[in-house]
Amino acid sequence: MTNDRQPNPLERPLEGHTVLITGAAGDIGRATAQVCRDAGAELLLADVHEAVHGVADELSGDGSPVATTVFDVTDEDAVTAALRSWANDGLMADRLFNNAGYQGDFANIIDQRSADVRRVLDINVVGVFNVLTAFSRILIEAGRPGVVVNTASMAHGGPPNMAAYGASKAAVVALTKTAAKDLAPMNIRVNSVSPAFIGPGAMWDRQVQLQAETPSQYFADTETEVADQMIGSVPMRRYGSLQEVAQAVLFLLSDQSSYITGFDLHVSGGAL
């Protein structure tokens, strides 16, 4: 019996596309990998941690190949070499979820150390730049269109005790707008997503714990109270799920958003 059903672009909007995901060993990266695979994409997964190799085995689905590699997004040469090597092997990503990120230390700005500020900016801003430019150069050389989604954060509004992280995510939003303008003539769209409180997951747990441990007038000193305070600041009165972030990313990666570029999509339950 043959399967002559034609692919439905609404059901599998990434059929025929290859998606590169950075930070793919993390919570949002993994969830988005699954959603993109279900949407028909071939996947290229990258992370600084070896755990990324196990993510390919975890993904369900029947078909398209999943390739994995380890690189540090702050290492421009390593990023370029990995993407070029994949492209030379016929694995050229035309969609990028530029998602690797690091929250940094939690402290009043007066107690922050510049080494950690540099590290946060290096991963969250220079890293996003490195992957975006390596990806775009390869596509431009091949004369192919592409789509980028950068992971920013509602922290771009400047949460207490997170000076470097907030600044880094504000920079991601600005970099996204510039990249959208600069790359529009080359047929590459660039948008960002800004999740607010997303859980369950490592970042939710870490921020609840560290905001409770860091003295401030904004948060209580127990994790239960801090979690309640955070959720209480969200109009929808819950945190978002990993799948809700992944679905927003899928929309921006797919042709369903074909006339949208330079936009930051809040995945925040109404939190500003």
Rounded Cα distance between 57 and 65, Å, is 11
Please name the amino acid found at residue 270: G
Q: Which is nearer to ligand NAD, 40 or 127 (CB)?
A: 127
| Total number of residues that touch ligand NAD (CB under 6 A) | 28
Name which position in 13, 40, 101, 159 contacts ligand NAD (CB under 6 A).
Answer: 101
259 catalytic? Reply is no
Mention every residue, 6+ apart, whose C-beta is less than 8 A from residue 143.
none
Rounded to the nearest whole angstrom, what is the least distance from the CB of residue 45 to ligand NAD in the complex?
10
Rounded to the nearest whole angstrom, what is the least distance from the CB of residue 255 to ligand NAD in the complex?
24
Rounded to the nearest whole angstrom, what is the least distance from the CB of residue 163 to ligand NAD in the complex?
15
Distances (CA, A) of 17 to 83, 91, 122: 15, 10, 29
Name which position in 13, 17, 19, 23 contacts ligand NAD (CB under 6 A).
Answer: 23
Catalytic residue among 165, 218, 239, 259: 165
67 close to 45: Cβ distance less than 8 angstroms? yes
Rounded to the nearest whole angstrom, what is the least distance from the CB of residue 62 to ligand NAD in the complex?
26
Nearest to 96 by CA among 59, 149, 34: 149
Q: Where are the beta strands (DSSP E) in the chain?
A: 18-22, 42-47, 66-70, 95-98, 146-151, 188-195, 264-267
- 25 is a contact residue toward ligand NAD (CB under 6 A): yes
- 29 is a contact residue toward ligand NAD (CB under 6 A): yes
Instruction: State the sign of the Cα–Cα–Cα–Cα dihedral 175, 176, 177, 179.
Output: positive
Q: Which is nearer to ligand NAD, 7 or 233 (CB)?
A: 233
Q: Which stretch binds ligand NAD (CB under 6 A): 36-44, 97-105, 106-114, 176-184?
A: 97-105
Instruction: State the sign of the Cα–Cα–Cα–Cα dihedral 16, 22, 28, 31.
Output: positive
Question: Which positions lie near ligand NAD, rule CB under 6 A?
Answer: 22-23, 25-29, 47-49, 72-74, 99-102, 123, 127, 151, 153, 195, 197-198, 201-204
Residues annotated as catalytic are: 165
